[in-house]
Chains A and B, each alone.
Chain A
Amino acid sequence: MGSRPPVRNREARRRWRGYVYVLPAFAVYVAFAVLPALHTAYLSLFDWDGVTLGEWVGLGNYAEIFQDSILRRSVFNALVLVVFFSFVPIVLGLLSAGLLARYRRPGMGAYRFLFMLPQVVPLVAVGVTWRWLYGDDGVVNQALRAVGLDSVARAWLGDFDFALIAVGLVGTWVLSGLCMMLFLSGVQKVDPSLYEAARIDGAGPVREFLSVTLPHLRGELAVAMTVTTVAALASFDIVYVTTNGGPGEQTTVPGLLVYRLAFSEGKVGLAAALAVVLGVLILAIVYLINRLSRDRT
């Protein structure tokens, strides 16, 4: 009886000691991530122009968000971008991983390096470059005209039907490399004898991909989906630099609106509310992705 409390104490102390080590990092995290986020949530309850005295409006800003057609349109655009930023790159990444998985090939490092390159370039530079490529006399149109497709050529970023797709393809270009790299490194962890065994059992390339490669990539797949989906929903830089949301509202995304509302339109409260909604939406989707990838195990 008398000896138990000290043991529990020691155990409890040991259990808490871990937190002491984490404390400095945790403090920094709270100061620079958690408190600003709470402050944003707090600001979202005000009607504030950034200068004069704010006025408490409670959940009014949130009500405004759900009534605003431009905001709804921007969420729709972001979801379209998920296809280009996430779905297409993942399919491309899986395809190349599948093609390269069967044999160990020389020069894998160089290959990975090449496809990783778009990741290394700042997105603003990527956007500016693509704006040139898509321009009236840009490389894209030059190529189209060179093969006789003059009627197809246009200023892609100014076209109501194609602007969003054009912006999406920039994302595809950037994120495909990341997905490929993730999957290729995942494939390299697979024991080669598994492929040999599969081949001896008479598996063709497709069977091999489905039975050996894909199951081993589940972890990488979850990471790729999380990272690319967040990139699509939180996209700002590429859109800002290439189209600034135009033509009309064809490429307006929530990230761009948060920026505009806060910095050029003087609606800081509304911007904060939209940022909170966007954050919650992203967290929900990421949670869903992780949930699904876990359930399959």
Chain B
Amino acid sequence: MMDSTHRVRRRIAATVCAVALVLPLAACDALTPGSATAVPGPTSVPSSTAVPAGDVTLHLQFADAPLMVDALIAAFEKDHPDITVEPQYKTFSDYVQNLKLTMTSDTAPDIAQYAVGMTDLAADGHILDLAPYREAYGWDEAIPPVSLDQLTAGQTSEATGGRALFGVPAGLSMTGIYYNKELAEKAGIDAPPKTLGEFEKQLASAEDADLTPLGVGALDSGGLHLWAALLNQLMPTDEYWDWVNGRKGATMENPAAVEASELVIDWGRKGYYNESANGTAQVDSTAQFAKGDSVFLINGNWAAGQLATVMGDNVGFFPMPGEQAGSPTVASGFSVSYAVSAKTEHPQAAGAFLDFLTSPEAGQIISDNGFMPPNPDAVKKPTGVLADIAEGHRRAVADDGITTFPDFAAPAMLDRLRSGVQKLIADRVTPADYLDSLQDEWEDHHGE
């Protein structure tokens, strides 16, 4: 009895202590999360291209293509002996998970690879608006404007009044379909398809020839490329952009998206995918395709170097074809791009490095490393599958048809897309429910 009253009294005391601790916390504004991160100082770069004299060290944090970055830095330092660039490599997932902490810390790198989380950072002034450089350096001539427009985070520029710019692309990417030429011939396929309907017929004839028609690595993000590629052909590009950019009233619950989702289900029912698509990572599906396990493979240009090495002339590439032979070429793509931290003490030196990325010399390095340079005219013509990709990209750029990946619509979208497409492939969800889950996430992020 004595013991239990004691215990009760202790419990009351503990509760009172806890409440006493939390109450003043709630009352204190300084403790509000995020209140200490507002950035003083300029949020955009100066408009001059001059680089002050004197030794400068820039820290560059990145996640893609370390060999390419090393080569770019070496070439840049030769041109600018006063500027040293210190690269800091992180694996992609590490990089993305830590991006916000890194960029809001006092030791933020001067230059950082652009990734999905940059939108929030830009909104809060942690990333410099590069719009003044866009004009001063004339980047619109060196880089296709569509590639720059992907890097605006949907904002306008306070410095120039035009659209803001939060990064400069070094290598461009695009998704599409690889095909195994020998296997395609075996299935009676003699040329890349000109329409989506023709592609479906080719998948069917590959199935008839007892081959696995299409390799998909849907364990990670590989499945989303398939869905997005079909969506790109069926949904008007403007509406897609509105949705990705979070424009008010945009929706993914539309007939075109339903049709694209139905196609993913339908192809699964017909057995067009590798049997374990949902249990296969994207890199593994690429390795299986290289071994000859499927006629077609959906992936991006980042796999081209590996496939060209293993398969030589036996591999080709085409962007997912549109509904009609004359339809514009539309494909998901982004870039390995670099942004400048608002904490940098050397915005001009950073500007010089970004501008170097647009030069023909940098373009050649980018091309040699399997990526597409922002300005393809300035480099030697690639051969084999790399030439197919360059040609596909040229057409897509000419048609204004490079769209960002759909997960750029909201930070949580990648998870919805990944698990949703897995369900489509396994025929476990209706298109309506799938699109509803995407739109829910979208409203959650962009809603008033």
On A, residues with C-beta under 8 Å from B are 38, 41-43, 45-46, 48-54, 56, 134-136, 154-160, 163, 243-249, 252, 260-261, 263-269
Cβ contacts under 8 Å, B415 to chain A: 245, 260, 264-265
Cβ contacts under 8 Å, A52 to chain B: 34, 37, 120, 123-124
Among A50, A54, A157: residue with most chain B CB under 10 A? A50
On B, residues with C-beta under 8 Å from A are 18, 21-22, 25-26, 31-35, 37-38, 96-98, 100-101, 104, 117, 120-121, 123-124, 126, 218-220, 275-280, 284, 288, 411-412, 414-415, 418-420, 422-423, 426, 428-429
Cβ contacts under 8 Å, B220 to chain A: 244
Inter-subunit contact B96/A247 (CB<8 Å): no
Least CB separation from A58: chain B residue: B26
Q: A246-B219, A265-B412 are in contact. Are A53 and B276 (CB under 8 A)?
A: no
Q: Bound complex: CA of A249 vs CA of B429, how far in Å? A: 12
**CB-CB nearest 10 A-B residue pairs:** A158-B279, A155-B279, A155-B276, A158-B278, A54-B33, A265-B412, A247-B422, A247-B278, A263-B97, A53-B34
Q: Bound complex: CA of A154 vs CA of B220, how far in Å? A: 17
Inter-subunit contact B33/A43 (CB<8 Å): yes
Least CB separation from A243: chain B residue: B219
Q: List 25 A-B contacts (CB under 8 A).
A: A43-B33, A49-B34, A49-B411, A50-B100, A52-B124, A54-B32, A56-B26, A135-B284, A136-B275, A136-B284, A154-B279, A155-B275, A155-B276, A155-B280, A156-B279, A157-B219, A158-B276, A159-B278, A160-B428, A244-B219, A245-B415, A246-B422, A260-B412, A260-B415, A266-B412
Cβ contacts under 8 Å, B97 to chain A: 263-264
Inter-subunit contact B279/A136 (CB<8 Å): yes
Q: A155-B278, A266-B117 are in contact. Are A42 and B22 (CB under 8 A)?
A: yes
Least CB separation from A64: chain B residue: B444
Inter-subunit contact A46/B33 (CB<8 Å): yes
Looking at the assembled complex, report how far the CB atom of A223 sits from the nearest CB atom of chain B, in whole angstroms. Answer: 24
Q: A49-B120, A51-B100 are in contact. Are A248 and B412 (CB under 8 A)?
A: no
Looking at the assembled complex, report how far the CB atom of B275 sits from the nearest CB atom of chain A, in whole angstroms. Answer: 7
Looking at the assembled complex, report how far the CB atom of B219 sits from the nearest CB atom of chain A, in whole angstroms. Answer: 6
A to B contact number (C-beta, < 8 Å):
130
Cβ contacts under 8 Å, A160 to chain B: 278, 426, 428
Inter-subunit contact B419/A267 (CB<8 Å): no
Looking at the assembled complex, report how far the CB atom of B125 sits from the nearest CB atom of chain A, in whole angstroms. Answer: 10
Cβ contacts under 8 Å, A42 to chain B: 22, 25-26, 31
Among A43, A50, A154, A247: residue with most chain B CB under 10 A? A247
Q: Bound complex: CA of A107 vs CA of B414, how far in Å? A: 52
Looking at the assembled complex, report how far the CB atom of A173 sits from the nearest CB atom of chain B, in whole angstroms. Answer: 19
Looking at the assembled complex, report how far the CB atom of A82 sits from the nearest CB atom of chain B, in whole angstroms. Answer: 23
Among B284, B418, B419: residue with most chain A CB under 10 A? B419
Q: Which of A51, A163, A247, A269 contacts B121 (CB 8 A)?
A: A51
Inter-subunit contact B412/A267 (CB<8 Å): yes
In addition to A49-B34, A53-B35, 8 A-B residue pairs with Cβ atoms within 8 Å of each other are A38-B21, A51-B124, A52-B34, A52-B123, A155-B278, A252-B419, A263-B98, A264-B411
Inter-subunit contact B419/A249 (CB<8 Å): yes
Inter-subunit contact A136/B280 (CB<8 Å): yes
Cβ contacts under 8 Å, B126 to chain A: 51
Cβ contacts under 8 Å, A265 to chain B: 411-412, 415
Inter-subunit contact B34/A51 (CB<8 Å): yes
Q: A158-B277, A158-B280, A264-B411 are in contact. Are A246 and B419 (CB under 8 A)?
A: yes
Looking at the assembled complex, report how far the CB atom of B100 sits from the nearest CB atom of chain A, in whole angstroms. Answer: 5
Inter-subunit contact B37/A136 (CB<8 Å): no
Q: A248-B428, A265-B415 are in contact. Are A48 and B34 (CB under 8 A)?
A: yes
Cβ contacts under 8 Å, B22 to chain A: 38, 41-42
Cβ contacts under 8 Å, B101 to chain A: 50
Cβ contacts under 8 Å, A260 to chain B: 412, 415
Inter-subunit contact A45/B26 (CB<8 Å): yes
Cβ contacts under 8 Å, A48 to chain B: 33-34
Cβ contacts under 8 Å, B276 to chain A: 136, 154-155, 158
Cβ contacts under 8 Å, A154 to chain B: 275-276, 279
Cβ contacts under 8 Å, A261 to chain B: 412
Among A51, A154, A247: residue with most chain B CB under 10 A? A51
Q: Bound complex: CA of A56 vs CA of B418, how far in Å? A: 31
Inter-subunit contact A51/B37 (CB<8 Å): yes
Inter-subunit contact A248/B422 (CB<8 Å): yes
Cβ contacts under 8 Å, B422 to chain A: 158, 246-248
Looking at the assembled complex, report how far the CB atom of B28 sits from the nearest CB atom of chain A, in whole angstroms. Answer: 11
Cβ contacts under 8 Å, B96 to chain A: 264
Cβ contacts under 8 Å, B121 to chain A: 51
Cβ contacts under 8 Å, B124 to chain A: 51-52
Q: Bound complex: CA of A134 vs CA of B280, how far in Å? A: 11
Q: Bound complex: CA of A53 vs CA of B31, how far in Å? A: 11
